[in-house]
Structure 1
Amino acid sequence: GDHEQLQAIGAGAPFRAIAEAVGHAQLSEVRRQKADWQKQASIDFASHRTAAGLSAYEARGSLHLKTDRAETLKAIIADYVADRSANPNDTRIAMAHRRDDVRAINAGIRAQLQESGELAKGSNNPSGDKGEELAYQTHNGKRSFARGDRIVFLENDRDLGVKNGMLGEV
């Protein structure tokens, strides 16, 4: 653990107490990013030098500013789908701060993939025939799934045999 990154665990800050009593390890090198400029940008972000980190991405054409929400969502969706087509074996993630934006991004990506034939579409048929969507009631409301949809489980469920973070595909 890194006491600069994680919140204290529980009442009384036991992680801090353990670190003070027996010492601690500190992450000293960036491992996730491979390019040196990305490593430096990560250090900049972690050190609250956000402008410097953003400048590094902007200098390499990796920062794109938009004028409004609709334009931003459209660009995120287009970039995601284009990268998926260009690099089908790679992984990618599209993130947003607000749940409404997350839903809009997911819906836009699904619509694009359905339009291109990479994701099934059709009427809501409970039989699950190929090309049809299935609708299920979840604790967050009704959700439709189609053959080819990727699902990330967000909690453990012994009955389903899944753990938080597991991926599934319909």
Structure 2
Amino acid sequence: MTTVWLTYDELAERLGIERESARQHVKRKHWARQKGNDGKVRIGVPEEVLSTKTEPGTVSGTDPVQAPAHPPVHDPSVTMVLTRHIERLEAQLEEALKRAGERDELVVQRDTARTERDIATTQVEALRAALAAAERDRDRWHDVATAPKPASEQVAPVERKSWWRRLAG
């Protein structure tokens, strides 16, 4: 059994498949891999795999799909039944799409309402904080205004003189 060393790209081309499919094929078959001097990974592929003749588009070891032995018979009644069934399915699809659109609109409305609620909640919390600060400030000013002053700070009331006594002296 001889082995041919190919890159993934070369293997994919030889087998007529995509590069990723070739990579998966190597993993399934547990073929040897080694890194080449050019940095590319080389796969040890048995020569028998590459020498077997396959039809285009098939991987060795798989059978191509066979065409049916006889052509299908076209019955008009079957066609009518299938046509009605297709029409019914199309109507159901349209109804489902309509409901999905309505549902999407409701989701947008719900999200908008949630956003507005969150904004209002934030505003209410800010107003409550401002009210609490104003109440603290009011209480502080009230305490300062109603607190008894020490005797050293108390000012004797000024005697009020009428205007003519102030002029006359």
Identify whether the pair has TM-score above 0.5, normalized to the shorter chain: no
Compare relative contact order (CA 8 Å, sep 6+) and give the higher one, 1 or 2.
Answer: 2
TMscore range, shorter length = under 0.3
Q: Could you state the TM-score of these two structures normalised by the residue count of structure 2?
A: 0.14
Q: Could you state the TM-score of these two structures normalised by the residue count of structure 1?
A: 0.14
Q: Which has the higher helix share?
A: 2
Select the structure of larger CA radius of gyration: 2
